[in-house]
Amino acid sequence: MPSSTDVSRRTGGRGVDAVVFDERAIAERVSELGAEITDYYPDGDLLVLGLLKGCFVFLPDLVRHIERPLHVDFLVVASYGHRMESSGEVRLLYDPEVDLRGKHVLLVEDIIDSGSTLARLARLLKGRKPESLEICTFLHKRLAEALDPDARFVGFDAPTDFLVGYGLDHAENFRHLPFVASIKG
């Protein structure tokens, strides 16, 4: 675990309550996820589609552990703004023009909480006729009612606290942390 001095230095002493997942646990689990994904997709065209901005740390670490050919692209959505809970409104800010037909699409998310973002994106992506659509999430709070599809690949089950670090933010702060921490509300 990072020391309290390291946490304070990296956060400017602002609002971090406790470290939930440290760097070592994250690195080990991301390596395991890469192996699971490699085994799941033995052949075919694989497109790893990352949801920005949250996945920008997780996705590159993950794809370096997937031992097969793949392509990477991104989607940009907005649903939080400066709040600590989803607004329920999902806005698609960037939509790649790649043709999904016949491709295995792995949608990579930083965290699943309400599931509203993923539900909308899954419907949109399924309409583009990929060979398959699966979800990989770094963290899953297990609060979503009925995701279709649910996440096939999960880094960690997460507490319901508001979490930051390893790409997750609050009002664009804390993304740079190499660990995941809860913050004070």
DSSP secondary structure code for residue 138 in this structure:
E
Q: Which pLDDT does position 140 carry in this prediction?
A: 95
148 compared with 68, residue with greater pLDDT: 68
Q: Do strands 163-164 and 91-94 pair parallel, antiparallel, or not at all (unpaired)?
A: unpaired
Predicted confidence (pLDDT) at residue 87 exceeds the cutoff of 60: no
Establish if 100 belongs to a structural domain. Answer: yes
Establish if 4 belongs to a structural domain. Answer: no
10 compared with 24, residue with greater pLDDT: 24
Where is average pLDDT lowest: 6-20, 137-151, 161-175? Answer: 6-20
Establish if 7 belongs to a structural domain. Answer: no
Establish if 166 belongs to a structural domain. Answer: yes
Cα–Cα dist 38/19, whole Å? 30
For the whole model, what pTM was predicted? 0.86
152 CB-contact burial (10 Å; exposed 0-12 / middle 13-18 / buried 19+): middle
User: Averaged over 145-149, what is the pLDDT?
Assistant: 74
63-70: list long-range contacts, CB under 8 Å, 24+ apart.
63/34, 64/34, 65/30, 65/31, 65/33, 65/34, 65/35, 65/38, 66/34, 66/37, 66/38, 67/34, 67/35, 67/38, 68/38, 68/41, 68/42, 70/46
Q: Which residue type, as a one-letter code, is found at position 183?
A: I
Cα–Cα dist 161/105, whole Å? 30
Q: Which pLDDT does position 93 carry in this prediction?
A: 85
Q: How many structural domains is the chain composed of?
A: 1
Q: Which residues are catalytic?
A: 113
Establish if 128 belongs to a structural domain. Answer: yes
pLDDT band at 3 (very low <50, low <70, confident <90, very high): low
Establish if 112 belongs to a structural domain. Answer: yes
Predicted confidence (pLDDT) at residue 43 exceeds the cutoff of 80: yes
pLDDT tens for 120-145 read: 888 889 999 999 999 999 999 988 77
Predicted confidence (pLDDT) at residue 89 exceeds the cutoff of 90: no
CATH of the domain at 45: 3.40.50.2020
- The mean pLDDT of the chain is 86
Structural domain of residue 60, as residue ranges? 16-80+88-183
Q: Which pLDDT does position 145 carry in this prediction?
A: 73
Q: Which pLDDT does position 170 carry in this prediction?
A: 87
Establish if 142 belongs to a structural domain. Answer: yes
pLDDT band at 185 (very low <50, low <70, confident <90, very high): low
Predicted confidence (pLDDT) at residue 159 exceeds the cutoff of 90: yes
Establish if 3 belongs to a structural domain. Answer: no
